[in-house]
Amino acid sequence: MSRASSATVVDASRVLRAEFEPYLPLMDFFAELLGPRTEVVLHDTSDLSRSIVALTNGHVSGRSVGGPATDLVLKVLQNHEHDDRDYLANYLAESRTGGTFRSSTFFIRDAGGDVVGMLCLNIDDEPLTRARDLLAAITATTGLVKGAALGPGSDAGPAAGSVAMPVAERLSMNVDELALDGVARIVAAQGVEPHRMTPDEKVAAVREIERAGVFLLKGAVAQVAEALHVSEPTVYRYVRQVRQGG
């Protein structure tokens, strides 16, 4: 199989799937077209713990080849919500260090239509959003209408034209971080301290963890057991209950 140029780092320890061959030359192309603030990532879904098999401009998120899948990758594989789509475009992603990106993912499928890989672009628009917010601030008007906040000290809220977007993906540095982040967010969302949860509340948490695809990762059961203050056999029992519709 052909390899991308030196600008793209390819995991030399992996034998890349034939389906990836057309996408490797595109990685340098996208990076050169969109500039050094664009990271291009090729994921192989056969091993989610080290799914990044090729990477261009990895400095954007701080990741490297051999890194794990993202929470979005897990959800796509677990829930099959996007089986009828070829790609997802322009959603908000966030790195472990708090950086935000405008991201897009193209699904790579095998001859049977199953997703075997993903080509992802993560664009750091921070300079552009700062410029947008500055322009919005200096061109803002007070809006003399009923209910408008006037006068010094009023909270103008977000800059005009800006829209708060939910984070759709988090770019984790390693597989333990990916599992821990997913489990921690879901457990925290239950609104009850784990040691105070009832068995039903813990099953509800496991149901959400299952929906997030976290159990696709090796070692996830141990992470969930620790987070919920239960034994690993109990987590397995909860998972069976959830998968059986309980």
Q: Does 228 have pLDDT greater than 90?
A: yes
Q: How many angstroms separate the CA atoms of 74 and 118, rounded?
A: 12
Quick one: tokens of 60? 């954007």
Q: Provide the pLDDT for residue 182.
A: 84
Segment 134-153 shows an average pLDDT of: 62
- The model's confidence at residue 174, banded by pLDDT at 50, 70 and 90, is confident
Q: Provide the pLDDT for residue 171.
A: 80
Q: Provide the pLDDT for residue 146.
A: 47
Least confident stretch, 91-105, 143-157, 207-221: 143-157
- The model's confidence at residue 156, banded by pLDDT at 50, 70 and 90, is very low
List, for residues 12-52, the tens digit of each pLDDT value: 999 999 999 999 999 999 999 999 999 999 999 999 999 99
Q: Provide the pLDDT for residue 160.
A: 46
Segment 156-174 shows an average pLDDT of: 61
Q: Provide the pLDDT for residue 100.
A: 87
What is the radius of gyration, based on Cα positions, of the chain?
Answer: 21
Could you give the percent of the chain with pLDDT greater than 70?
A: 86
Least confident stretch, 14-18, 95-99, 128-132: 95-99
Segment 204-210 shows an average pLDDT of: 93
Q: How many angstroms separate the CA atoms of 227 and 109, rounded?
A: 35
* Locus of tokens 């813990």: 202
Quick one: tokens of 232? 């690993």
